[in-house]
Amino acid sequence: MKRTERGFAVYAEFKDLDGVNVRIQQSSLATKHAVWIQNEIVLCGPDKEPIGNAHLDKRMARRIVKALQRFIDQ
């Protein structure tokens, strides 16, 4: 399993349908066992509005489910 520079587990990392990075990562929260579901903020549209949603197909959704299951099983 990949780890961050600070040693936190990265359960999955991939690009979504729009080429935006998605990452499921162990949180640094000290008081609880937690996970981040992260994706990059991209600027979209004529006004360059920030969009922070992951655009997933079924294969990508399965990757997230598997990553979350690994987190749960820890």
pLDDT (tens digit, 9 = 90+) per residue, 32-74?
A: 999 999 988 877 777 777 777 888 999 999 999 999 999 999 8
Q: What's the distance, CA 5 to chain centroid?
A: 16
DSSP string, 4-73: -TTS-EEEEEEE-TTS-EEEEEE---SSS--EEEEE--EEETTTTEEE------HHHHHHHHHHHHHHHH
How many domains does the structure of the chain reveal?
Answer: 1
For residue 28, pLDDT over 80 is answered with yes
Decide if pLDDT at 22 tops 90: yes
**pLDDT score, position 56:** 94
Output the pLDDT for position 7: 95
Question: In terms of residue numbers, what domain contains 26?
Answer: 2-73
